[in-house]
Amino acid sequence: MKAPHSSESPSPAEEQGLHEIYARSGETADATVWGRKIDPLSRRGFFKGMGLSAMTAAVGAEIVFSDQMPGGLIPAALAQSNVPFTIPGKDGLLILNDRPINAETPAHFLDDDITPASRFFVRNNGLTPLPESISPDQWTLEIAGEACERPTKFTLPELKAKFQHYTYQIQLECGGNGRSEFNPPTHGNQWTIGAVGCANWTGVRLRDVLESCGIRKNAVYVGYHGADTHLSGDPKKESISRGVPMHKALEDESLIAFAMNGEDIPLQNGHPLRMVTGGWPASTSGKWLTKLEIRDRVHDGEKMGGDSYKVPKYPVAPGTKVPEEDMVIIESMPVKSIVTFPQSGISHELGKPLACRGHAWAGDLEVSEVHVSIDFGVTWIKADLKKPANRLAWQRWNAEVRFPKKGYYEIWSRAVDSNGQSQPMLVPGWNPKGYLNNACHRIAVQAV
């Protein structure tokens, strides 16, 4: 697996691939990954805490002779040379990391107006809850916090029965999508273009639930908590606990969702309950939702501090270390577009027009124009652009290009938002965590 770039040795709790951890030390890996201790005489292992359950979930079945498993051994089910494992319910995704699971979607698999669940990217910060630990009928969501007047706990069936259901087509994108293009490289999953998707989400409005519990006048933020497990295995630690300011939480499109494209949300995407706050980094859309806090301050949960999901307040030179006080939390994502058809690398017959298409989005805003270029941005052709299905959905664009002679070409797409901000042609200003790369997407075509 491709390991995240870092100039320092990562700690056991940081995001690392399974093979990377075992490459350093098998016995240390056993303890780090599974909580498994090795008997120095027999070289056999015994599991502590949830270690055996975690390994069982990873391989998909009971490990019958687990007490006889040699130390430092990656289970064969996870050790194939090319792809260490598959993600149940997913098809065609490229796996960037296997602990936690992170996988992106190739651009040509994002051609649908509504992203199928099987093609929706996976971005995890911790270990996914075990399927057997999830009972939707027994699942509860607690509403609390300093600025909550009437703390309440709802079961999922109660949420569905008490509040009106809404369905919106909403685009979600990881804040680090495009990180792989930054130079010098930054730490984290090296996403290319595919940590994005736009699905139909069904749920209840976050606003309706919060208002039923009473929102005090001093309310500032809503923070979430989920059921995923910290990479260290420590039950006292959270993998991620972020949120949004009240104005975002109270938007019509901000949901507590229980369905995706008319079916249960896939496990890796937050089943049975998640937040959906479109247009902002997907890290604000908490998965496996168990608790929401109405805060009287900016939420201070895990990955709200330091440089997590933050960018400098001012331009910095590549490689600069920026003080925390000079960083600002990412809110609305920048304008962006992708080419979803044709697939990069095709050959096309000279003299025939080539129809190309894709999607564009602009955080909280709408996209006003999309242009395509075949001459590396010297000239541009205006594409046909559809209106979004609803606010915070991506928009379909279509264009037709003709190649003047045989040879290699690139098709570039560039979107402009409703405030007149355009995608940059090249990678935008560097930042310490490699967020918000909205450079023009480009694909290769050979005219023959």
Q: What is the DSSP string of 307-350?
A: TTTEEESS---TT----GGGEEE--SPPPEEEEEES-TTEEE-T
Q: What is the pLDDT along the chain (448 residues), one digit of tens a residue?
A: 333 333 333 343 445 555 555 555 555 666 666 666 656 555 455 555 556 666 666 665 566 556 666 665 556 555 543 444 678 899 999 998 888 999 999 999 999 999 999 999 999 999 999 999 999 999 999 999 999 999 999 999 999 999 999 999 999 999 999 999 999 999 899 999 999 999 999 999 999 999 999 999 999 999 999 999 998 888 899 999 999 999 999 999 999 999 999 999 999 999 999 999 999 999 999 999 999 999 999 999 999 999 999 999 999 999 999 999 999 999 999 999 999 999 999 999 999 999 999 999 999 999 999 999 999 999 999 999 999 999 999 999 999 999 999 999 999 999 999 999 999 998 999 999 999 999 999 999 999 8
Amino acid letter at 41? L
Domains of the chain (ranges; CATH) run 18-85 (no CATH), 113-329 (3.90.420.10), 336-447 (2.60.40.650)
CA distances from 413 to 174, 190, 365, 400 (A): 20, 22, 18, 12
Q: In what order do the strands lie in the sheet with 381-382?
A: 346-348, 441-447, 407-417, 367-373, 381-382
- pTM of the entire predicted model: 0.83
3-state secondary structure of 362: strand
**What is the pLDDT, as a whole number, of residue 2?**
37
Virtual torsion, Cα 110, 115, 116, 118, nearest 10 deg:
60
Characterize the bridge pairing of strands 196-205 and 255-260.
antiparallel
Amino acid letter at 157? P
| CA distance linking residue 181 with residue 198, whole number of Å | 23
Do 160 and 144 meet the contact criterion of CB atoms below 8 Å apart? no
**What is the pLDDT, as a whole number, of residue 233?**
84
